[in-house]
Amino acid sequence: MFLNTDFLENDEIKLVLERTDEGNPERDRVPAYHFAVCNKKGVKMGACDLRIGHNDKLYYGGNIGYRIDEEYRGHHYAGKACLLLFELARRHDLGYQIITCNPDNIASRKTCEYAGGELLEIAELPEGNDMRDDGEYEKCIYKFIL
Residue-wise pLDDT for 97-126, tens only, equals: 999 999 999 999 999 999 999 999 999 999
Distance CA 50, CA 5 (A): 12
| pLDDT tens string 73-82 | 999 999 999 9
Q: What is the DSSP letter of 31?
A: P
**Helices 77-91 and 106-114, interaxial angle, to 10°?**
50
Q: What is the pLDDT of residue 26?
A: 86
- What is the pTM (predicted TM-score) of this model? 0.95
Q: CB–CB of 33/49 below 8 Å?
A: yes
- 13-145 has which CATH code? 3.40.630.30
